[in-house]
Chains A and B, each alone.
Chain A
Amino acid sequence: MTPLALQKLRARVPGCELLVYTDLQSRTVLGSDGALRYPQEHLDALCLCAADLFDVTGHAPKGPFSHALFFGAGGGRGFFRNGADPGEALCCICALSVDVDQLVQVMNEALGAESSGHE
């Protein structure tokens, strides 16, 4: 997913402040786009969090999860696994006011398009 694609994708979700595309297996950041310039450590931390989360939920009954949403009083994070390539995922930092259904729909559409583009 190119930086431009990430930029366009982030613009589609009001309240999405940072978007990171990650390789879960190597635990590396493949690309990012943010409202602010986030330090690399911040991006790496989000990537590691996604990897841990999908690793943990990989042990869940009825299989792994396609996405997870995490919120605290100050805002949230979304983690969306690429169904066609489960080793990759989109992660985002978003405002508490985000429309979660819209967030999930837009991210899943983007991952679907990304998978199609690879084929």
Chain B
Amino acid sequence: MYASKIVMLAVTVVCVFNANADTLETWGDGSQGTDWNWIPAQNRLIILQGDGNDYKFWFHDGGDDPSTGVIDNITVDPNAAGDFSLTIGYPADPNDPNSPLDPNTPGALNWNEGDLTYAGGTSTIFGAKLAGSMCANGPLLVDMTTGPLIVEGEILDDVTINTLGGDIVCENMRNLTMHTTASEPHPPDITIEGRVAHPSRSDGWGRDFVSFSKGVSPAATI
């Protein structure tokens, strides 16, 4: 049920607030262009088309060197059609369309404050997947209209997810606060698998946990 229309947001980039002219571009897969827009003055990303694209974004200095930047807000055009996935990170090889994320890039996405608002409200958003190493020091807000939201990765702080009836699968989450505003078409299913971050431990992790909850109340903290 999760196979169709998955939006993947994989974050491994050291991102700090920087309003200057870092270039945001996709790597390798040729999906750059008018299928998406970048508004650097407000760090806004607009997805205009799905079309099965595998969007892989990275910030660079105009050449091949990674630079810092932040995607503050992602909006999907209600006229967008088709499946797509979305990855944000540093590629191991920016010229290779199949390049994986660079595992040697230090640090993690640093949402110092504010929200990453993944604006739903459109029928084209059927799911989201957050993967990779990620530090959400501020609330990460994801609005879904339908379909699954899949979250995996090392989320090191509270994450708030708003769903309008979508299913949620979370892996390696620390604190997840779940809000839902709709009981139709059905209450969201939530699966939590993973471990709890614990900075005082040498490996940074506390106990592993696996929990499962289905049909949560309108506001539940897991």
Co-complex (A, B): no
Which residues in A have some Cβ–Cβ distance to B below 8 Å? none
